[in-house]
Structure formats: C-alpha cells, structure tokens
Amino acid sequence: MIIGKYPNLRLRRTRKESWSRRLIQENTLSPNDFILPIFLIEGSNKRQPISSMPGVYRYTINRLSQIVDRAIKKKIPMVALFPKTQNVHKDELGTESLNEKNLVCRAIKEIKKRYKNQIGIMCDVALDPYTLSGHDGILNDKQEIDNDKTIEVLVKQAISHAEAGADIVAPSDMMDGRIGKIRSALETQKFFNTMILSYCAKYSSNLYGPFRDAVKSSKNLKGSSKDTYQMDFGNKIEVVPEAEFDIHEGADILMVKPGLHYLDVISLLKNKYSIPIFAYHVSGEYTMIKSAAKNNFIDERKVVFETLMSFKRAGANAILTYYAKQIIDWLK
C-alpha cells in the first residue's frame, strides 16, 4: 500500500537520473542467465548456416570448440545440444536415440574431454529427431502415441546421455510418468547428481517451425500435430498438475516452452513452487525479431533486451535463447 499523495509523493523522482534508475532496477541480465543452444551435424569441418534462423549454425563435432570456447569466455554456464539426425538413421522406434555413438553422445564426450566441468551440458530426452514420424514418441497401430512404450525408450535414452557425461537430461516429450521412471533409472545406475529438467509446460505451439527446420523433423511430421501430448495454448491452470507430478517424481528444474508467449505460466510456476523455473526463447520468437530487425521495423538490440528482461521479470531463473552469445556482447 502506498501512503502519501501528490505532490508530496512524486514517483518520477527516482527515475530522473541514470544512476538512480540503476540503483532501484528490480531485474538485471548477466551471462549467468543464459543457456546456449548448439545444433549438431555429421561430417567434418562444417559450420552450416540455418536459413530459417539467421546467425545460427549447425556444427560438426570437430568444430564444437569454435562455439564452446566462446561460450566459456563469455561465462555462459551451460550449452544445450540438438542433433540433426540423418534420415538413414531414423526409424519408427527412434532406435538411433539409444546408440551410444550417436551425434549427441559423441558431442557430450568431446566437450567433457576437452573442457571437463568448465561448462554444463544439457540434452533433450525426446524421440522427434530420431523417428520417421517426426513425433516425440512411438506410434501404435492406430497411429497414436503409445505413452508407456515411449517411456521405455526415453529412460534408456536418458541413461545413455548420463553415461556419456550429460549434466542435465531434459525430457521434452510430455509423456505422462516419464520423470519418475527416468529418476528411478538414474538412481539405480548411481547417477545421483544428474539433474532432470522437465519440460512440464511444453505447448503445442506454432512457433517451433525454424527449430524443426534446423533438426529436419518438419518433413517427417507431414503436417500432423502434437496436440494429443503437448499442451493447449489456451490453457494455463493445466500446467499445475503437470508441474506437481514432475516435482513429485523427481524433477530438479521446470521448463516453460515457448517462453515469451507464456510469461503468465512462468509467473504462475515461480510463485507456486520453490524449484528453479527456466524459459525457452524459441526459434519462432527469435526469427520474428530477426526478420523485423532486418526490415528496420525495430531496433534489434533494444527489443532483445526488453524481451529477455521480460523473462526475468516473470520469474525465470535462466533463459535458453539463440541470442545468448550476442546479448552478452551487448551487455558489455
């Protein structure tokens, strides 16, 4: 409650000077706030641009140092790895996800070998980069996602990531019950310190297009939707049981995806639960800013600052964003 009235109380007094505005600023941005996504491709000595995501590239494993070195120098705490799997390695069961020599596992091992614990590694646990259907799970005879059969594969995938050296396994599939099964398996295999980041609020959004282009899963989807397992973008309260189930089953961190269009969901989770809440500034949100800036409709730098600050204001502890490297240069 504000006690006082104009003119004795003038709210603009503290906004008058730059130094006073800095003193009372409620939220700030620093390198500690960001997770850097990295796309992977097979081959050697490649740094391949992604046409739908200006300024973002796919890297072969022997070129990873090019981007990880920079991330460490910029004091980014963690990278997130996403593979572009060759079609020859895709099948109906996502078998390549369990290959200990797949792109992700080899990349984890290379980063850990070279950098030890200088930077954290997070890996998605989901089947969409590996299935012919492009879905996050296994389809049954009725072409419906088989929840429990999918979980069996996800558990094995999570363990393979942990064995390779991943610090955080991040189930992004939205199958019911997968967090508990993964946590139990990690405990059994004595991966006591491997964290689980649960995409507990992953919406069936129209903002994933550039990402699906980056990992080349959109053609496999053939226009089908993920509405039967990802959340309806008209819902907010639905996230409460999703979050509570995942926390109860052993999640260490919760992720909201997309982030910018779901600040109310971030705020809800932050105010209700005491574990860290992360936000994913997704590919569609990134590309919209890039496109508008290219046409001189907006000031890219200012809009990015405002956008990322909105995540912090809503309550996000960290932000996975394709602007991670650039924003840190701008912070200087």
Three-state SS for 202? strand
Report the 10 Å Cβ neighbour count for 31.
16
Structure tokens at 222: 């053939």
Structure tokens at 37: 């996504």
142 and 228 Cβ atoms separated by less than 8 Å: no
> Is 73 labeled as catalytic in the residue annotation?
no
Given 84, 109, 202, 270, which residue is catalytic?
202
> Is 257 labeled as catalytic in the residue annotation?
yes
Residue 167 dihedral angles phi and psi, to the nearest 5°: -85, -35
The CA distances from residue 249 to 20, 50, 185, 215, 276, in Å, are 45, 37, 12, 30, 16
Looking at 64-140, list the stretches that DSSP marks H as alpha helix, in order from N- to C-terminal side. Answer: 64-73, 103-115
125 and 182 Cβ atoms separated by less than 8 Å: yes
Report the 10 Å Cβ neighbour count for 112.
17
Given 74, 257, 290, 312, which residue is catalytic?
257
What's the CA gap between 254 and 331, in Å, rounded? 26
Q: Which runs of E-coded beta strand occur in 156-250?
A: 168-171, 195-202
Active-site amino acid positions: 202, 257
